[in-house]
Amino acid sequence: MSDEDDLQQPEPTPKQKKDIAKWFLANAPPGEIHYIAKDIQSILADEDTYNAAVSEAYPLYNKAHMIALELPNRTGDVLITTFGEIDETEYLDPRTCQVATVNHVKQVCTNVRPATDEELPSSYIEEFRGALDAELVKYVAETYPKGICSVYCINGKDTEGLGADFEFVVVISAARHSPQNFCNGSWRSIWNAEFKDDLQVVELRGKLQVDAHYFEEGNVQLDASHECKDSTIFQSPEECALSIINMIRHHENEYMASLEGSYSNLPDTTFKDLRRKLPVTRTLFPWHNTLQFSLTRDITKELGIEK
């Protein structure tokens, strides 16, 4: 047997091909899953394997990126998240009290129905949820271009009054897709607000995620995340809403400022470490004049977080 025969690898099974395709699809950069799906379809040349991969990958991708889909009756947008998931194809929009039926692969809502009483929180919980949602809408409108937000009750939604704990999840999703300018990006933040009646305190936990893909004459990806905590006293629905949104505003502005600081330091740190001191051209890289290179400015602009 020749050395060439020893190096030959066995043909992947249909399941292995499906799993590989599913991984690439689920890990696609923001707004680029359709492009990757088209390439994978050409490579596989097997419709059954391709259809199996996309049917499993698209729901994972849509929920991970918390994409927003317009409701068929044009009453708003529904966020595709695990917090509003009723089943594999139905998602609750708490603001309009509607449930949307979703085609994950086509990324469209195909139908909408009124939510049932069992799917909605009690009137007591809705006072807190509605007040928080109203303040959140104002904050997102002034902070995130084309941002979509929602507030879900994930614990204690049947609570009828004082004496019990309950928990909300505040979700913010903002995407900026500009493939014609070789840049796509997204911002996602998830805030758990736990109302503890016995301690008369509201504990806030946040997870912030920024993804960006810049691919003009290269391939640069940003994948950054941050976690934080805060708390406030348990007050009336309106006062709790104001306090929670003020804490969210503070932490998100602080994180955005840290990202901008990282961008400005890229030429002196990361880029410098990636480049050889003296390239093959025998000409030193002009680190003293890095502003002529627009990568960091373009990423900041496309994410919509420039000051």
Q: Which residues sit opposite 100 in a β-bridge?
A: 91, 112
Please indicate, yes or no, whether residues 39 and 111 belong to a single structural domain of this protein.
no
Please indicate, yes or no, whether residues 135 and 200 belong to a single structural domain of this protein.
yes
User: Looking at the domain assignment, is residue 79 inside a domain?
Assistant: yes
Please indicate, yes or no, whether residues 184 and 54 belong to a single structural domain of this protein.
no
Please indicate, yes or no, whether residues 74 and 211 belong to a single structural domain of this protein.
no
User: Looking at the domain assignment, is residue 139 inside a domain?
Assistant: yes
Please indicate, yes or no, whether residues 224 and 108 belong to a single structural domain of this protein.
no
pLDDT at 283: 63
Q: Which distant-in-sequence residues (6+ apart) come within 8 Å of 89 by Cβ?
A: 101, 102, 103, 104
Neighbours of 135 (CB within 10 A): 22
- As for how many domains the chain has, the answer is 3
Domain's final residue, options 119, 141, 161: 119
Please indicate, yes or no, whether residues 134 and 162 belong to a single structural domain of this protein.
yes
Q: Worst-scoring range by mean pLDDT, 91-105, 127-141, 236-250, 268-282?
A: 268-282
Please indicate, yes or no, whether residues 30 and 44 belong to a single structural domain of this protein.
yes
User: Looking at the domain assignment, is residue 75 inside a domain?
Assistant: yes
CATH number at residue 256: 3.90.1150.210
- With 90 as the cut, is the pLDDT of residue 78 above it? yes
pLDDT digits (tens, 9 = 90+) for 241-298: 999 999 999 999 999 998 888 777 666 666 566 555 555 565 665 655 655 555 555 5
Which position has the higher pLDDT, 17 or 8? 17
Question: Domain span at residue 50?
Answer: 9-64
Q: 285 to each of 61, 214, 271, 281, 293, how far by Cα in Å?
A: 39, 22, 11, 10, 12
Nearest C-alpha neighbor of 271 from the set 291, 256, 253, 242:
291
Please indicate, yes or no, whether residues 59 and 103 belong to a single structural domain of this protein.
no
pLDDT digits (tens, 9 = 90+) for 180-234: 888 899 999 999 999 999 999 999 999 999 998 988 877 888 889 999 999 999 9
User: Looking at the domain assignment, is residue 175 inside a domain?
Assistant: yes
Domain's final residue, options 22, 37, 64: 64
β-pairing, 220-233 with 201-214? antiparallel
Its pTM stands at 0.83
Please indicate, yes or no, whether residues 104 and 172 belong to a single structural domain of this protein.
no
User: Looking at the domain assignment, is residue 18 inside a domain?
Assistant: yes
Report percent pLDDT > 70 for the chain.
Answer: 83
- With 80 as the cut, is the pLDDT of residue 130 above it? yes
CATH number at residue 80: 3.30.1140.60
Please indicate, yes or no, whether residues 37 and 83 belong to a single structural domain of this protein.
no
pLDDT digits (tens, 9 = 90+) for 17-44: 999 999 999 999 999 999 999 999 999 9
User: Looking at the domain assignment, is residue 293 inside a domain?
Assistant: no
